A and B are shown apart, each in its own frame.
Chain A
């Protein structure tokens, strides 16, 4: 079945064959050309696409192998989503050790992109909590991968963008929580320096830290925003049941992006000013705290038929302050603005994957409606700033970085290359290897 494949950014749209995987014990189905595993399509750009090739759709591998409610050790197939894990484990007192901003990623996708969350400064990336997994290669071999093995396949596959083979199942260590509640504190700050001060102060006191930035503010307000810090908190286990599936949904794709010059400025202004007091504390349910956008199904449609482009970069600590300021300045100057600009300081725990994105420094995530060449030109200018600061752009969110930038920012690509399954490739990989 040839289908137009889509990633979460809805750009690019490419055609490929989609073959479902339904039984982890079976050999891979026959395919022509390049193959690439596909989970739940939450990567933003083309790292989960394979133009003119085959996508091995692994969402059907959604079975548990074992779960020990005493130790929190979970073994499941790679197509199980974080949402499903939470449904199972939270009632028994366990939570994901690391989670990105959507719970609709699969375990396989989380490993392949070595995802991170707001607690990176404490618990590192998802890959740090993976005990082992099985890798099914196109030659039919099955390899149990553990960290530090001489074959290097664990380190190649964590953050390996699906290129080393199909992850069939994985064993993950969950973490204990007192319940579904989060004790949160939101602090308004007026400039970028305040962000760095708050971040330094909070990294030892709070497990989760992140900031939202008004990226249209400039001058002395450059980098103003809200700093959000939180911890798991005990609470009434039975209090306020929250619907697990979203009832709000974008029913269709509007003909134009709803995020545009007319809406961005008021949105960012209102978001900044919605909190009148400088500090606000609250008890928040984990779902709206971790996954605010999951509350609106298919929210990516609001960017219209041309989709949107994400840009997430990390800048090393030495260049973080000036680099972030330069990026925000560049964006403010372009007037294009981002609906959500997210800023966070990573911790020092070295990532396990050869191509893992998280590294010490400050990360900034942005998204821009695809308005054509002007946005691509802006993104190239942002890449130039990142490049000069010695930073890196996140492959899971990228649809356009240059091969030169990728190879410089991910210097272990040459060490990684021999681990690629000889019959696997992706749109992203072919693009950055050109």
Chain B
């Protein structure tokens, strides 16, 4: 039985992933801000075959509460095989440009808090555990439409790359997940086109990438190609385009 800790459990991608693990009969520990929704989810996942070891309410921006959550998770699950860090927001770039407070909070939510959680969790994981973290294709190159979000995700991507190297010898895998456009409540206001994926599709990709001990997973896979192109556009061209 796999023991799985999910942070940001009420996000659409995390919930879909939790369902995939539930159908395998995993033991789950769910962390999120919204206490009633966590208990709704816990009941649902139990029906779907999980044993839910517990839920824990946490706002990831309260850094001094990270340690208590982590020990609660380890106490509830015994040991942990898979950690999925999935929380995030999609900030409004203009709001971040006009308010230092908003910019700092959003950077913390999408960047710093994830890194701090990864540091604290990595020290407790034992081989062959996997630490899987949802970053974003937006972290591959800054674009005018959302570069504060992009830079926070970029920081996460770079950090995870280093963490993966440093944990390699210990046998703990670090997986960087880079979803493209996903049709979730976070992106509710966007017009959806052919590139958009469903959370269930992303969840299947996450589970496969964890099973296969991948290092980086673009989801769906074609985003790897798109990002190769975007990353390789020369700056003198890139700065002229609207993206």
B residues less than 8 Å from A67 (CB atoms): 47
CB of B214 closer than 8 Å to a CB of A: no
With A25-B37, A88-B48 already in contact, the answer to whether A63 and B43 are too (CB < 8 A) is yes
- Name B9-56 residues within 8 Å CB distance of A: 34, 36-37, 40-41, 43-44, 47-48
- Name A40-66 residues within 8 Å CB distance of B: 63-66
- Name A61-95 residues within 8 Å CB distance of B: 63-67, 88
Q: Are A23 and B37 closer than 8 Å at their CB atoms? A: yes
With A64-B48, A66-B47, A88-B48 already in contact, the answer to whether A25 and B40 are too (CB < 8 A) is yes
Q: Are A65 and B44 closer than 8 Å at their CB atoms? A: yes
The bracket for how many chain A residues form the interface is: 10 to 19
Distance (whole angstroms) from the CB of A75 to the closest CB of chain B:
9
CB of B234 closer than 8 Å to a CB of A: no
A residues less than 8 Å from B37 (CB atoms): 23, 25
Cβ-defined partner of B40 (8 Å) among A20, A63, A88 = A63
A residues less than 8 Å from B47 (CB atoms): 64-67, 88
A residues less than 8 Å from B99 (CB atoms): none
B residues less than 8 Å from A65 (CB atoms): 43-44, 47
Cβ-defined partner of A64 (8 Å) among B34, B43, B185, B188 = B43
Most buried by B among A25, A63, A66, A67: A63
Which secondary structure dominates where chain B touches chain A?
helix
- Bound complex: CA of A213 vs CA of B36, how far in Å? 52
- Bound complex: CA of A108 vs CA of B175, how far in Å? 39
Cβ-defined partner of B189 (8 Å) among A1, A22, A64 = A1
Distance (whole angstroms) from the CB of A353 to the closest CB of chain B:
28
A residues less than 8 Å from B43 (CB atoms): 63-66
A residues less than 8 Å from B41 (CB atoms): 63
- Bound complex: CA of A395 vs CA of B186, how far in Å? 36
A residues less than 8 Å from B44 (CB atoms): 63-65
Distance (whole angstroms) from the CB of A101 to the closest CB of chain B:
25
CB of A24 closer than 8 Å to a CB of B: yes
Distance (whole angstroms) from the CB of A85 to the closest CB of chain B:
11
A residues less than 8 Å from B185 (CB atoms): 20, 22
* Closest B residue to A63 using CB positions: B44
* Closest B residue to A91 using CB positions: B49
Distance (whole angstroms) from the CB of A141 to the closest CB of chain B:
18
* Closest A residue to B41 using CB positions: A63
| Chain A 1-33 interface 0/1 with B at a Cβ cutoff of 8 Å (1 = within) | 100000000000000000010111100000000
Show 10 residue pairs from A and B whose CB-CB distance is below 8 angstroms, ordered by the A residue: A20-B188, A23-B34, A23-B40, A63-B44, A64-B43, A64-B44, A64-B47, A64-B48, A65-B47, A88-B47
Q: A23-B40, A24-B40, A64-B44 are in contact. List 10 more A-B contacts (CB 8 A).
A: A20-B185, A20-B188, A23-B34, A23-B36, A25-B40, A63-B40, A63-B43, A64-B48, A65-B43, A65-B47
